[in-house]
């Protein structure tokens, strides 16, 4: 297993994504922490949102970049349409899809077009570069989720996680 594949499944420099998300109930994932801009649910929804856009770009679908930063987080209505369990399943399934792409070296070298913020030119990068960007983005937000869990005294999960 390559390091990029491990990073996409969350089993690299930090706890695996499925461990970070395990054992959480609806109350905790929707709980607001003073000073934190988003709930755990909103952070995972944001991860799933951007992961889908990244997978679209890798597949040659030029999905538009959101017009505003808030478009990358769920509306109240969107949060009510998808349960926590469904959201986690969608996110983790797409983590696996992204990780599977890493086994094809030829595909990793292919250039893809990635849309940019409104008013900025389209970027061209390799599939590998987009997956590296996705892994970094996921790691950042999964770290925020760990911190939210710690602040709620809900860390580590039963399957374990770094406590330092």
**Whole-angstrom distance, CA of residue 145 vs CA of residue 45:** 12
pLDDT in tens, 87-107: 999 999 999 999 999 999 999
**Whole-angstrom distance, CA of residue 127 vs CA of residue 94:** 16
Estimate to the nearest angstrom the gap between the alpha carbon of 32 and the chain centroid. Answer: 20
Residue 118 has pLDDT above 90, yes or no: no
Give the model's pLDDT for residue 160.
77
Give the model's pLDDT for residue 63.
94
Which two structure tokens, joined as six digits, stand for 125? 């990068």
> Roughly how many angstroms between the first and final C-alpha of the chain, as a whole number?
26
Q: Which of 25-29, 75-79, 123-127 has the lowest mean pLDDT?
A: 75-79
What is the percent of the chain with per-residue pLDDT over 70, rounded to a whole number?
98
Give the model's pLDDT for residue 164.
64
The CATH class of the 3-151 domain is mainly alpha
Residue 14 has pLDDT above 90, yes or no: no
Cα–Cα distances in Å, from 6 out to 2, 46, 96, 100, 137? 6, 21, 10, 10, 14
**Whole-angstrom distance, CA of residue 145 vs CA of residue 140:** 9
Q: What are the extents of the domains in the chain?
A: 3-151
The vertex-108 CA angle with 107 and 114, nearest 5°, equals: 100
The vertex-91 CA angle with 160 and 148, nearest 5°, equals: 50
């Amino acid at each position: 297993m390559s390091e990029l594949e491990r990073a996409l499944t969350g089993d690299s420099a930090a706890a695996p994504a499925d461990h970070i998300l395990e054992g959480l109930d609806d109350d905790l994932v929707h709980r607001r922490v003073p000073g934190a801009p988003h709930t755990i649910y909103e952070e995972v929804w944001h991860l799933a949102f951007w992961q889908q856009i990244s997978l679209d770009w890798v597949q040659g679908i030029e999905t538009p970049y959101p017009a505003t930063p808030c478009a990358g987080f769920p509306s109240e209505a969107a949060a009510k349409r998808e349960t926590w369990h469904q959201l986690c399943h969608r996110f983790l399934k797409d983590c696996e899809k992204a990780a599977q792409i890493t086994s094809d070296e030829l595909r990793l070298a292919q250039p893809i077009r990635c849309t940019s913020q409104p008013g900025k030119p389209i970027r061209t990068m390799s599939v590998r570069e987009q997956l590296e960007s996705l892994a970094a983005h996921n790691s950042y937000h999964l770290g925020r989720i760990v911190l939210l869990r710690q602040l709620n005294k809900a860390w580590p999960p039963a399957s374990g996680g770094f406590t330092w």
